[in-house]
Amino acid sequence: MKLLVAFALVVVAASAAPQGHQEDVLLVKETPSDNIGVGHYNYGYELSNGQAHQESAELLNAGTENESLAVRGSFTWVDPQTNVRYTVNYVADENGFQPQGDHIPA
Ligand SMILES: *[C@@H]1O[C@H](CO)[C@@H](O)[C@H](O)[C@H]1NC(C)=O
């Protein structure tokens, strides 16, 4: 449940990021995904407008009552007005969604 909330927050934050004018945005880089079965994944991409996202997850304590998914990742976007690049690194695990970024109060 917590993880669903975490994913929702990431999506909201990403879509709240400033978008440029309606210019074509191209995929410039895609990390080959490394999805070896259940409970482990890894993906990433970078767009021509400077937006990028990467994320990986690992299943902790697999097979026990304390099994949990630990997700870590980051997303980056560039404010088209100021050309300032923002990056948020985040961890989402049994302690919840924990974003970190220079522009986010600790
Ligand atoms: C699961 O976590 C609880 C609380 O931390 C702990 O008491 C219990 O021993 C853990 N169970 C296993 C199988 O590690």
- pTM across the whole model: 0.65
Q: What is the mean pLDDT of each run of 10 residues along the chain (106 residues)?
A: 49 52 79 71 92 93 90 94 93 92 77
Q: Would you state the pLDDT for residue 18?
A: 53
Q: Would you state the pLDDT for residue 5?
A: 47
**Residue 17 DSSP label:** S
Q: Would you state the pLDDT for residue 30?
A: 87
Most informative mutation of 59, 60, 64, 66 for ligand 1 (most atoms within 8 A of CB): 66
Q: Would you state the pLDDT for residue 25?
A: 84
Helix (H) or strand (E) holding 8: helix 2-16
3-state secondary structure of 101: coil
